Structure 1
């Protein structure tokens, strides 16, 4: 993993992002200590489990297709707003 000093990372941000996409995670340091890591969106999605679209997620639900589910609604009146 390549390491970038904060000042250099700010000055060459486009290059930093390009390196993250092409070469993998890029470490950012401040006063010699690791403070952050920049990763590509593809890697972030893979690591965080965000590869699936919302539609695909909903279709994979174990509740999908069930008609016997009832959601209780709050029937109370809305609160009054003073003008």
Structure 2
């Protein structure tokens, strides 16, 4: 993966895109820290499909929640004096 400082990536955007389309992701840095990665559309779509395939569905998330049972303790609440 090639690193591009932001100012170089802006000036040579066609080269960044050409390298990404050729199959090599391009990392753009801002102030020396990674900011974004430019990838080809096919690679992006492959990653999205993979993410969807491994992400749990809503029903799975609900079923995986703990039911409480005997493992949860009720919080201890002390009554306080209130004057009316």
Fold shared per TM-score above 0.5: yes
Looking at secondary structure, tell me which structure has more helix per residue.
2
TM-score, L = length of structure 1: 0.57
Alpha-carbon displacement from aligned partner over 1:29-68 (angstroms, at most 9, x marks no partner): 0111000000000100111119xxxxxxxxxxxxxxxxxx
Please, what is the CA RMSD of the aligned residues?
1.4
Q: Which runs of 4+ in 1 moved over 3 A?
A: none
- 5+ long unaligned stretches in structure 2: 51-84
TM-score, L = length of structure 2: 0.56
Larger Rg, first or second structure (1 or 2): 2
Deviation at 1:23, TM superposition (A): 3.8
| 2:9–2:16 contact (8 Å) kept in structure 1 | yes
- 5+ long unaligned stretches in structure 1: 51-83
